[in-house]
Amino acid sequence: MSARGIPYRDKAVETAPREVIEWMQLTALRKQVAAALKTPFYGPRLAERGISSGEDIKTLADIRKLPFTTKNDLREAYPFGLLAVPKEEVVRVHASSGTTGTPTVIYLTQHDLDMASDTMARSLQAAGGTKDDIIQNMMTYGLFTGGLGFHYGAEKMGAMVIPTSAGNTLRQLKFMKDFGTTMIHATPSYLLHLHAAIEEATDLKRSDLKLRKAITGAEPHSEELRQKIQDKLGIEVYNCYGMSELNGPGVAFECVFRTGLHIWEDRYIMEIINPDTLEPVAEGETGELVMTILCRDAMPLLRYRTRDLTRILLDPCPCGRTHRRIARFTGRTDDMLIINGVNVFPSQIEEVLLKAKGVGANYLIIVEKAGDLDRLTVQVEITPEMFADDARVINALRDTLKSEMTALITINPHIEIKQPGSLPVSEGKAKRVEDRRPKA
C-alpha cells in the first residue's frame, strides 16, 4: 500500500515525533496524578509516597514513583472510591468481572465518553473503516464495553451501526444480507461460528454478503486462527485489544498492515514489567502490560496491572504511525478464563459453591469446545447427607447453583452433580480447572 493510501483519523497526532508524544504524556500524566490525589483510594497512597501535586512528576521516568493498581484494588475501591469528579458529572458506568462477586467498575463523564469514542473511532479508521461502512456489532450490549464502547466509536466515525448484540446467528445473517453489512465486530470464536452458519444456510450464499472486514478481540487468538477466519470468510480480520478498566476496546489496534497492535500513546502510558520483580523488562522482551490511562477525568487509573503478557515490537510500522506496537498476547499471569469472550475467575464459581448447603469438598471447572464456541461445565461433589437425600432436593441444588452462577458470571454453566469422593483428589494444590480447548 502506498503511503498516500494510509488512512488516519488525526494524522498529526498519530505520526507525531516521539518528543511530542512524550510531552503530551507528561502533561496528561500530571493532570491524572492531580485527579488521583482527589480520590479516597489514591489520595493516601500517593501521600505516602510524598506526592502531593501533579507537579511532583517532573519527567516520565517519575511514573515509577507511582503505585501499581490491581483488580483487587478496584474491588476495594468499589463502588465510588476512585471517583475524581462530583458524582453528578458521571454519565456512564461499565463493568467487568472481579475475582469475586464484586465487579470492577469504571465511570465516565461526557468528556471521557467522547474521548473513549474518539479513541475507538481512531482505531477503526486505522483499520480502514470509513463513514460509508455498515457495521454490525455482534458483541454483548450492557456492562461489557464490547457493545456500547465499540458502538459509540463506530458512530463517531460516522458509520451506520447495527447493534445486533451477541447471539441469534440467523438474525445476524439476515441483517448482514438485508443491510449490506460491510464490517462486523465479534469474538474470534463467534466469527468461526458465523462462517459455519453461512455454510449451512440454505437461503444465503457468501456472495449475497458485502462483508469486507471483521474486527475481533476480547479473547486470545493466534495468527493461525486469524488466517483461518480470513480464508474461510474471504475478509480482512483485525485484532483489537482492550479492557473495561481502560475504557474497553480500541486501546491497541492493528492498522492496515496488521503486524502488531499500535497502542495509542497520547491516551495511555504503557510499561512492560516482570510480574515477579515488578521491574521493567528489557525493551522487546515479554512481560506484563501495565497501563496508565491519560484520557479520563472521572476515574484515574495509575499503572494498572493488566495481567496480559506481551512485548513491544521494535521495528517501525510501515504505516508511519509513531505510536509503538505490541505483539499478539501470549497469555496471562493469573487464572482468569475467557469463555466466549466473557471473563470468568475460578474464585467467582467457588464463591457460589461455598455459599451453597450440601456442596462437598471438591469441584472441577471444565472448559471445552462445543463446535466453534466454548462450553463451561462445573462438576460438583455433594456431601454424603445430600447424596442420601431425595432426587428432588439434589435437582433443586443443581438449579440453584446454575442460576446463581449465571447471575454472577453471565454465562450459563452445565452443572454436573457428583457423588462424594468421586472427583480426583490431587496431591498438593488441588487442580480445580481443566481447560480442554485447543491452544488458541
Q: Which residues bind ligand DLL (CB under 6 A)?
A: 96, 139, 144-146, 217-220, 239-244, 248-249, 306, 308, 329, 332, 338, 343
C-alpha torsion sign, points 121, 21, 329, 128: positive
Considering beta carbons, is residue 128 or 248 the nearer one to ligand DLL?
A: 248
Cell numbers given for 54:
501533579
Considering beta carbons, is residue 46 or 289 the nearer one to ligand DLL?
A: 289
Strand segments (E) across 274-394: 287-293, 304-310, 312-313, 325-326, 331-332, 337-339, 342-344, 359-370, 373-382
Cell numbers given for 215:
474486527
**How far apart are CB 239 and ligand DLL at their closest, in Å?**
5
Considering beta carbons, is residue 109 or 137 the nearer one to ligand DLL?
A: 137
Considering beta carbons, is residue 161 or 415 the nearer one to ligand DLL?
A: 161
**How far apart are CB 118 and ligand DLL at their closest, in Å?**
17
**How far apart are CB 150 and ligand DLL at their closest, in Å?**
6
Residue 125's H or E segment, with its range, is helix 110-126
Considering beta carbons, is residue 20 or 440 the nearer one to ligand DLL?
A: 440
> Which residue blocks in 138-214 are alpha helix, DSSP H?
145-157, 169-179, 188-200
Distance CA 361, CA 363 (A): 7
**How far apart are CB 96 and ligand DLL at their closest, in Å?**
4
**How far apart are CB 308 and ligand DLL at their closest, in Å?**
5
**How far apart are CB 241 and ligand DLL at their closest, in Å?**
4
**How far apart are CB 11 and ligand DLL at their closest, in Å?**
25
Distance CA 381, CA 112 (A): 47
The residue to which cell 491516551 is assigned = 267
Identify whether the C-beta of residue 245 lies closer than 8 Å to the C-beta of residue 214.
no
In the beta sheet, which residues pair with residue 337?
A: 344
Identify whether the C-beta of residue 383 lies closer than 8 Å to the C-beta of residue 420.
yes
**How far apart are CB 314 and ligand DLL at their closest, in Å?**
20
Cell numbers given for 139:
458483541
**How far apart are CB 277 and ligand DLL at their closest, in Å?**
21
Identify whether the C-beta of residue 323 lies closer than 8 Å to the C-beta of residue 9.
no
Considering beta carbons, is residue 206 or 328 the nearer one to ligand DLL?
A: 328
Considering beta carbons, is residue 25 or 96 the nearer one to ligand DLL?
A: 96
Considering beta carbons, is residue 241 or 363 the nearer one to ligand DLL?
A: 241
Query: Would you list the DSSP string of 39-58?
Result: STTHHHHHHHTT--SGGG--
The residue to which cell 478464563 is assigned = 337
Identify whether the C-beta of residue 144 lies closer than 8 Å to the C-beta of residue 120.
no
Considering beta carbons, is residue 128 or 220 the nearer one to ligand DLL?
A: 220
